């Protein structure tokens, strides 16, 4: 489990297509501490299994399902990626419960400066995810735990504070970019329980 508090900005060093999947190599430092072959590391919100760890990189395989559901397959070498290790059992839940199981991708529609280092991010969300997003609820965008400020006609709005803007990949994104979305798992459980009762 993750919390959506990004620990490090890594760099995609290479992506190698393998049939309908791929293998990534990520250059980084912080998230390697305490990690081992087979450990989980979230890359732009996608829980991946770390392979071939070195002093400054790790590899990870992307399954065909992950290629279809996320934006990872569309990244090019040199892209900056958000990295997070799983939260330890005794750790603090700084953001919200993030599984690293991306539901789908949204399209970045705008990132507008609000002043004092704050930004307003707008993302068009897929119709099938809209029902799980509520104002003042939580959402993970590219693995970043964020609070929903508005959701109207499938257009999601969130405020990005200076720290988040400076320490994540959001500032490098341009309108039209695909971003990974993971909605709150609690909403999906509630929906399923209500369907069984109804």
Give the residue numbers annotated as catalytic, written as ranges: 2, 40, 47, 49, 63, 101, 147
**Contacting residues for 94 by C-beta, under 8 A, at least 6 apart:** 3, 4, 5, 145
Closest-CA residue to 186 (of 132, 141, 106, 145): 132
Q: Token pair for residue 99?
A: 């599984």
DSSP state of 68: H
**Which residues contact residue 165 at a Cβ distance below 8 angstroms, ignoring those fewer than 6 apart?**
117, 118, 119, 171
Give the CA count within 13 Å in the CB-facing half-sphere of 15.
18
């Amino acid at each position: 489990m993750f919390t959506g508090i990004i620990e490090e900005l890594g760099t995609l060093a290479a992506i190698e297509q393998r049939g309908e999947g791929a293998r990534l190599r990520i250059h980084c430092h912080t998230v390697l501490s305490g990690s081992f072959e087979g450990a989980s590391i979230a890359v732009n919100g996608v829980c991946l299994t770390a392979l071939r760890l070195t002093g400054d990189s790790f590899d990870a395989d992307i399954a065909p399902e992950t290629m279809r559901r996320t934006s990872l397959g569309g990244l090019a070498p040199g892209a900056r990626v958000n990295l997070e290790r799983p939260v330890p059992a005794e750790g603090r839940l700084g953001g919200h419960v993030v599984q690293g199981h991306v539901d789908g991708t949204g399209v970045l529609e705008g990132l507008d400066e609000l002043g004092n280092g704050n930004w307003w991010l707008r993302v068009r969300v897929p119709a099938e995810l809209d029902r799980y997003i509520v104002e003042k609820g939580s959402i993970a965008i590219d693995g970043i735990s964020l609070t929903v400020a508005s959701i109207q006609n499938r257009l999601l709005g969130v405020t990005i504070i200076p720290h988040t803007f400076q320490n994540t990949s959001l500032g490098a994104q341009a309108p039209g970019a695909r971003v990974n979305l993971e909605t709150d798992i609690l909403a999906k459980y509630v929906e399923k329980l209500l369907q069984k009762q109804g």
